Copies of this chain bind each other. A is one copy, B any other.
Amino acid sequence: MLTIGEFSRLSHLSVRTLRRYHDAALLEPAAVDPASGYRYYSVDQIPTAQVIQRLRELDVPLSDVQRILRSPDPDVRAALVSEHLQRLESELDRTRSAVATLRRLLQPAPPPIAVELRAVAATTVAAVEGDVDHGELLAWYAGAMAELTAATTEPTGAPGGLYDNELFEDGHGHALVHVPMRVPPRSGRVHPVTLPAVELAVATHAGAHDDIDVTYGELGAWVVANELAVAGPVRETYLVGPRDTPDPEEWRTEIGWPVFRLGPR
């Protein structure tokens, strides 16, 4: 039996951290003296301590570490771990995209953007919609768009999406992806929707979506500079996307912000 200090030396976990893990029911000491409260550990617990340490280095939350440790089946364990590795992978994507945006933002003279004001009539579309968290938006988009394209034939235009401003302001909100069709089907999550007519300020984003927020910002600046105000969910139209060409440089996304003229003029 080892005292907490000895166990700390052997496991390379700090005493404080070991106590925290005890409180979190992550790594219970093999024995606790009921009189003094002293924690005593067994050498068998060293590997467990090290597993915890490594998972923490991967930023696995303590609650998930607990789930991993509790599952006796090594296959389940491996699945949980690789799930987290996948999460890390997507983090890496996020990092890559942030770097790309920074490059564009920090370049000295960003080329001016072309913005067009366009009246859009009401449109009938096949749509998949839902309330989503901002973090899950990309994953949700992938699933929704896959279901949508599988269910649609003879689209009358490029696919698009509507995204509530709350998604970005509060981190969660309504999202809708759609494909315009004359007679939209109804199957699974896919159902017909009529998008209302709006006045749109439209800019076109070129390339991958890594730095699409920069275009958003420039469009927003234009909207404000032209004495307009935004109203309603932003509309994206995927003119050229990954389904058309694998080269991200060729992708084209229209960003349309519903606007109205400020004040009576």
Within the complex, the shortest CB–CB distance from A233 to chain B, in Å, comes to: 11
**A111: Cβ under 8 A from any B Cβ:** no
Inter-chain CA distance A57–B101, complex, in Å, is: 11
**Contact A51 to B106, CB < 8 A, known contacts A8-B169, A15-B169, A99-B58:** yes
Chain A: residues with Cβ within 8 Å of the partner, total of: 58
Inter-chain CA distance A225–B42, complex, in Å, is: 10
**A38: Cβ under 8 A from any B Cβ:** no
Contact B224 A54 (CB under 8 A): no
Contact A102 B55 (CB under 8 A): yes
Encode contact with B along A74-100: 1 for CB under 8 Å, 0 otherwise: 100110010001001000101101110
**Contact A74 to B10, CB < 8 A, known contacts A43-B221, A88-B95, A217-B50:** no
Residues in chain B near residue A13, CB distance under 8 A: 168
With beta carbons under 8 angstroms apart, the residue of B46, B53, B213 that contacts A221 is B46
Within the complex, the shortest CB–CB distance from A101 to chain B, in Å, comes to: 5
Contact B213 A74 (CB under 8 A): no
Task: Name the CB-closest residue of B to A134.
Answer: B12
**A187: Cβ under 8 A from any B Cβ:** no
Contact B216 A10 (CB under 8 A): yes
Inter-chain CA distance A47–B221, complex, in Å, is: 10
Residues in chain B near residue A170, CB distance under 8 A: 14
Inter-chain CA distance A98–B58, complex, in Å, is: 7
Contact B10 A224 (CB under 8 A): yes
Inter-chain CA distance A139–B165, complex, in Å, is: 45
**A193: Cβ under 8 A from any B Cβ:** no
**A220: Cβ under 8 A from any B Cβ:** yes
Other A-B contacts than A46-B220, A88-B95, 10 sampled, CB-CB below 8 A, are A8-B168, A10-B217, A10-B224, A10-B230, A15-B169, A43-B220, A43-B225, A54-B98, A55-B102, A81-B106
Ordered by A's residue number, 21 sampled pairs between the chains whose C-beta atoms are within 8 Å are A6-B224, A9-B168, A9-B230, A10-B217, A10-B224, A10-B230, A13-B168, A14-B170, A15-B169, A44-B221, A47-B105, A47-B217, A50-B217, A51-B105, A51-B106, A57-B98, A58-B98, A74-B108, A81-B102, A81-B106, A88-B95
Q: Which 10 A-B pairs have CB atoms at the shortest separation, nearest pair first?
A: A10-B220, A12-B168, A57-B98, A46-B217, A43-B221, A54-B98, A54-B101, A43-B224, A9-B165, A54-B102
